[in-house]
Amino acid sequence: RINAQSRSEGIGYSRLIAGLKKANIELDRRVLADLAVHDKVAFSAVVQRAKAALA
């Protein structure tokens, strides 16, 4: 779930997790999966923050 949604946002799963750690965003995988399925806008915002941390 997380990988599929993150790839649609243009980032792979492992880079997403690395970006979250770098951005000090502490969401576990269960919460990320729930966001990916039920709240795509929030998931997209989290992905954008992770991408910014990696840039």
Q: What pLDDT shows up at residue 45?
A: 96
Burial class of 13 by CB neighbour count within 10 A (0 to 12, 13 to 18, 19+): middle
Q: Which range marks the domain in which residue 8 is found? A: 2-54
Query: How many structural domains comprise the chain?
Result: 1
Beta-strand ranges (E) seen in the chain are: none
Confidence at residue 11, expressed as pLDDT on a 0 to 100 scale: 95
Q: State the CATH number of the domain containing residue 17.
A: 1.10.1900.20
Q: Read off the pTM.
A: 0.89
Mean pLDDT by 10 residues, the chain (55 residues): 93 96 94 94 96 94
